Structure 1
Amino acid sequence: MSPRGRVYDESDVRVRPGKRGSRPRTKERPKHDDAVIGQVTTVDRGRWTCLVDGRSVLAMRARELGRTSTVVGDRVALVGDTSGDPGTLARIVRVEPRTSVLRRTADDTDPYERVIVANADQLAIVTALADPEPRPRMVDRCLVAAYDAGMTPLLVLTKSDLADPAPFLAGYAGLDVPHVVTRTTADGIEGLDQVRDALLGRMTVLVGHSGVGKSTLVNELVPGVGRAIGHVNAVTGRGRHTSTSAIALPLPDVRGGTEGWVIDTPGVRSFGLAHIEPDRIINAFPDLAGGTAECPRGCTHDEEECALDAWVADGHAGTSGATRLASLRRLLRTRTGESDPQETEQPHDQE
């Protein structure tokens, strides 16, 4: 009873409806059986450009994806307006299973992985032989990332008109990494056909420091794409960042069709490997992997107790076993930021 003598009953109680409506929530999500499959070709400010049956479709991510990353190279399921007409916007509702993931961390102490590209099968590490000087430690880190992702590495050496590639390649003889060499001439880039042959039939990610000629190669391989070209600072020896986002580009062939994909990435100055365990690198060395069975628990494979030395000494890894083991251990050291005792890089070559 109120102070004024009024008696309240249930009719005086008003229940405010929920803001989200009265229909109960469910954990079931629509299956989107009518979704079409596209491939992400670029990401820009919360919008994903996807290739669907030869047309470019602009899309946003559906809320139901949560924190699932969606990167260049991903195959995704799209619903909504997938016509690709100006002003239309589709929704990405699902990321299809990936065949490979190229990732890195900001540095060797950061445990957070950043996915760079998905579903690529080759990593082309573009390195200038001069102007700027090659940085072997950066190349080693990219090789580790390629082995971890299950991708085939490829060394693309540019500017051989300024320096002999032989000394640099000698440092990778034990890894059997395929390579192509280009040089700049008055008539263009010599060796471009060899680069194209190495990319045909593959989805290839191009990585490298700024100023090594990566965007120049892309512009020659995919005419009309117009990737910005940077220059090397004469004081620091470093290139200026020109590519600001990754983009997947169809690699044309002489018959006018598409014979592969080239993914151009922004120039990088560091490639953290904090997320990679040693055994994941050793798997890329099948001739050495068998020797780890006798290693002590927790072996880093770069210590006195490591069983790999005896494995190589007994001839299980073949005649090049010692060279291969030295190369493997050099790659393992790059994971933790350690430098090779025999490596003498100039100050501006540090990562």
Structure 2
Amino acid sequence: MGRRDIDESDFHSRPTKRGSRPRTKQRPEHSDAVTGLVTGVDRGRYTLLVKDPDDGGGDGASGEKIVTAMKARELTRTRVVVGDRVDVVGDVSGGEGSLARIVRIQERTSTLRRTADDTDPYERIVVANADQLVIVTALAQPEPRTGMIDRCVVAAYDAGMSVLLCLTKADLASPDELRALYEPLGVEVVVTQRAPSDDETDGANSAGQTAGGMILVPESVEEVRERLRGLVSVLVGHSGVGKSTLINALVPAAKRATGVVNDVTGRGRHTSTSAVALALPVAVTEGSPTDTFDGWVIDTPGVRSFGLAHVEVSHLLRAFDDLDEVAQECPRGCTHLADAPDCALDDWIEASPEDERPARAARLTSFRRLLASRTGSDA
């Protein structure tokens, strides 16, 4: 093949700043975008539930289809998390090999955050749009850590979420002490316990069934379910406290891996490796249908720490209406801790009627314990 002659039509000058077309900052409106719920995140791919226009349902099982998506370029630096409501375009058929594109994140109603420690300036978003934080804590094996519970309560109140303390393994220890610590803070407490079973089935195949031949007492599982109905609830807890076991009892189709506690270290093995949102069945009993749903359960990986560098002390105080009102009379710069001089909260206790004083004192003591966990002071 011979060499082609080159003429002036082959010359392309590089455009100058003056002659080049300016890059537009206008983005497409994506008026044809549909809304999806992020139920899972895995290495840059997002699992969404998108309403199927060909099905009139939309209850988390029927009426919605599973779509895989990636983030649009303009969202490169924006984190999309489980619980987010997003606008998606592209191939939303949900077919094998299809890939949609997330172009917008809708306004969040709540954002649960944590940091690696109390000095880390980088905030990590755990989940978005959750109504309730469920702190799963074992009463034994492993032993409960009140410091961790306190920190989770602080993070939830800072996010504007309600708190449910779920105490597991009540067959091994009494829940009374932890009830007394947290109920004065307005924290609801629910208790589950295990019962031995001859069935050595792995996973959850009947109401309350857990791995390793143990079952959760069905009545205690249903008590938890009642507290979750109609809400988006996110479960957090140390490894080994029975979080995955509880989720398998609540949502048998989840089949979350369960682990055991190390006899030497007293710690559990991480079994949940990523957050995932699961539709909560209305009931799980022998012979009952499980295709009716009322609420969402978000499982998260086990955590060993919950930093609170992002929480402002004033935000924590506002979660307690009665204490916040009294604290308005405190001198400027008051820390509200037990050693704070002239703190109006102490006067509030002294001025209370005799029959109200024990309850007020318990509430203030619990609040100061939370405050100490945030500030790093001694409780």
Q: Tell me if TM exceeds 0.5.
A: yes
Tell me by how many angstroms 1:287 deviates.
Answer: 1.1
Counterpart among 279, 283, 296 of residue 261 in structure 1:
296
Given the alignment of the two structures, is residue 91 of structure 1 paired with residue 128 of structure 2, yes or no? Answer: no
**What is the letter of the counterpart of residue 296 of structure 1?**
P
Aligned match of 2:44: 46
> Quick one: structure 1 residues 138 and 258, their matched pair in 2 at CA, closer, same or farther if it must change by over 3 Å?
same
Aligned match of 1:33: 31
Q: How does 1:268-307 map to 2 (within 5 A)?
A: 268-302=303-337, 303-307=340-344
Q: How does 1:1-351 map to 2 (within 5 A)?
A: 15-17=13-15, 23-53=21-51, 54-187=64-197, 188-190=215-217, 191-254=220-283, 256-302=291-337, 303-315=340-352, 319=357, 320-340=359-379
Query: Is the contact made by 2:239 and 2:268 (CA closer than 8 Å) also made in structure 1?
Result: yes
Tell me by how many angstroms 1:15 deviates.
Answer: 2.0
Cα shift readout 1:233-283 (whole Å, capped 9, x = no counterpart): 111101111111000000011463111000000000000001111111111
**What is the letter of the counterpart of residue 225 of structure 1?**
A
Aligned match of 1:7: none
Query: Is the contact made by 2:138 and 2:167 (CA closer than 8 Å) also made in structure 1?
Result: yes
Larger displacement relative to structure 2 (329-338 or 144-153) = 329-338
Give the whole-Å Cα distance in 1 for the aligned partners of 2:332 and 2:45: 47
**What is the letter of the counterpart of residue 311 of structure 1?**
W
Tell me by how many angstroms 1:318 deviates.
Answer: 5.1
**What is the letter of the counterpart of residue 118 of structure 1?**
A
Query: Is the contact made by 2:38 and 2:81 (CA closer than 8 Å) also made in structure 1?
Result: yes
Tell me by how many angstroms 1:338 deviates.
Answer: 3.4
**TM-score scaled by length of structure 2:** 0.82
Larger displacement relative to structure 2 (269-278 or 286-295) = 286-295
Question: Alignment RMSD, CA only?
Answer: 2.0
Give the whole-Å Cα distance in 2 for the aligned partners of 1:136 and 1:14: 70
- 3-state SS of the aligned residue for 1:30? coil
Aligned length: 327
**What is the letter of the counterpart of residue 348 of structure 2?**
W
Larger displacement relative to structure 2 (59-68 or 195-204) = 59-68
Query: Is the contact made by 2:113 and 2:127 (CA closer than 8 Å) also made in structure 1?
Result: yes
Give the whole-Å Cα distance in 2 for the aligned partners of 1:308 and 1:185: 45
**What is the letter of the counterpart of residue 313 of structure 1?**
E
Give the whole-Å Cα distance in 2 for the aligned partners of 1:75 and 1:318: 45
> Quick one: structure 1 residues 14 and 220, their matched pair in 2 at CA, closer, same or farther if it must change by over 3 Å?
closer
In structure 2, the gaps of 5 or more residues are 1-8, 52-63, 198-214, 284-288
Give the whole-Å Cα distance in 2 for the aligned partners of 1:142 and 1:318: 28
> Quick one: structure 1 residues 207 and 127, their matched pair in 2 at CA, closer, same or farther if it must change by over 3 Å?
same
**TM-score scaled by length of structure 1:** 0.89
**What is the letter of the counterpart of residue 98 of structure 1?**
R
Query: Is the contact made by 2:142 and 2:240 (CA closer than 8 Å) also made in structure 1?
Result: yes
Tell me by how many angstroms 1:194 deviates.
Answer: 0.3
Cα shift readout 1:47-72 (whole Å, capped 9, x = no counterpart): 11111011111100011124222100
Give the whole-Å Cα distance in 1 for the aligned partners of 2:125 and 2:91: 28
In structure 1, the gaps of 5 or more residues are 1-10, 341-351
Give the whole-Å Cα distance in 1 for the aligned partners of 2:342 and 2:261: 45
**What is the letter of the counterpart of residue 143 of structure 2?**
E
- 3-state SS of the aligned residue for 1:294? coil
Query: Is the contact made by 2:272 and 2:300 (CA closer than 8 Å) also made in structure 1?
Result: yes
> Quick one: structure 1 residues 64 and 15, their matched pair in 2 at CA, closer, same or farther if it must change by over 3 Å?
same
Cα shift readout 1:115-161 (whole Å, capped 9, x = no counterpart): 10000000000000000000011000011011111111001010010
